[in-house]
Amino acid sequence: METILGLDLPTWWFLVIGGLITGYGVLDGFDLGAGALHLFFKKEESRRLVLNAIGPVWDGNEVWLVIAGGALFAGFPLVYGVLLSTFYIPFMLFLVALIFRAISIEFRSKEPWLWWRKMWDISYTVSSTGITLLLGLVLGNLIHGLPMNKDHEFTGNLLTFFNPYAILIAFTTLSLFMLHGSIYLVMKTENRLYTRLTLIVNNCSKFFILCFILTSMATLIYVPHMTHQFKSHPSLFLLPMLAVLIVLNIKRNVDARKYYTAFAYSCIITACLLILFAVGLYPNIVISTTDPAYSISIYAAASSVKSLKIMLLIAAIGTPMVVGYTTFLFWTFRGKVKLNEMSY
């Protein structure tokens, strides 16, 4: 098989998709987390401030999901079809939650009535939390593996998805995004809201550390296939050790009120956890719990060599452009958030 810099093309595309999902987690993670925390702010002005803190950027962040979806469709069409049709009901709920989240942000400040704003505030928090939990649930099931037969057909039912491990991963994802979101908000706010947020950050970091410890133990005990890769390449053990160090560092920086550093670390931990997951899966994407031989590997699922090459070229041209726009956007709206007449 053809290789570029020693890696074959499906592996390259696996890295591209991994990179896109990581980008999505790092970027949309903080605005989903901010959404999940929204109802903790009681005053109207505080709610508007935290909403406008993500105002100009959330839509751009969500684009990473669209690109990651397109990349999965293009590179591993078999997996795209199998995964989305297997998780039919969770994905439909996910899509509806995405709609509600978008319109909650958009519609909330369009009317001054108390009930109107309260309704969209609740819808915003419920949809943001729901999106995060569903993402975590799907992720948890992918780590855990699914009952798949030799025709790549799912043999379980809706309840199969709600196993304790996947539920734990769902809550870990929520705790991670809440921590990530609260640190972002602390960077964007000032005065009393800032003070209030520093308390929230502290609580979120405790919640996350608890979830992180539970997940680590559960993975080691119940999901042995995730650690195979690590046993054959012992140097990879540096990754989970790095993750632990970063988690401790977030706590230290939060306590020292160095929120910019803490935010950088919470970006890194999000990336780190997703990389751990990718390393554990590789070279499979969907693991069958029925028989490991029925798992779908990136080689079985990949598009043609020609198509992968074209798309790697597209990605090589497109990625610097996307990074450019994103940087421009975040630079334009740097600093503490202020309300003006164009605000939500």
Number of chain residues interacting with other proteins (CB under 8 A): 72
Residue from 191, 232, 235, 332 that binds other proteins (CB under 8 A)?
Answer: 332
Spatial separation of the C-alpha atoms in residues 211 and 218, rounded to whole Å: 10
Specify the residue, 235 or 332, whose C-beta has the smaller distance to other proteins: 332
Specify the residue, 232 or 332, whose C-beta has the smaller distance to other proteins: 332
Residue from 39, 78, 119, 275 that binds other proteins (CB under 8 A)?
Answer: 78
* DSSP code string of 219-275: HHHH-THHHHHHHHSGGGGHHHHHHHHHHHHHHHHHHTT-HHHHHHHHHHHHHHHHH
Residue from 2, 191, 232, 306 that binds other proteins (CB under 8 A)?
Answer: 306
- Using rule CB under 8 A, residue 43 touches other proteins: no
- Using rule CB under 8 A, residue 314 touches other proteins: yes
Note whether 276 and 239 are within 8 A (CB).
yes
Spatial separation of the C-alpha atoms in residues 161 and 138, rounded to whole Å: 8
- Binding segment toward other proteins, per CB under 8 A, in 192-200, 211-219, 261-269, 307-315: 307-315
With left for phi above 0 and alpha for psi between -120 and 50, is residue 191 left, alpha or beta? left
Please state the closest distance from residue 110 (CB atom) to other proteins, in A. 5
Residue from 107, 207, 222, 282 that binds other proteins (CB under 8 A)?
Answer: 107
Note whether 193 and 52 are within 8 A (CB).
no
Residue from 63, 209, 244, 264 that binds other proteins (CB under 8 A)?
Answer: 63
Residue from 102, 167, 239, 279 that binds other proteins (CB under 8 A)?
Answer: 102
Find the binding residues for other proteins in span 148-177 (CB under 8 A): 153-154
Please state the closest distance from residue 135 (CB atom) to other proteins, in A. 13
List CB contacts of 37: < 8 A, sequence separation 6 or more. 50, 125, 178, 181, 182, 185, 200, 204
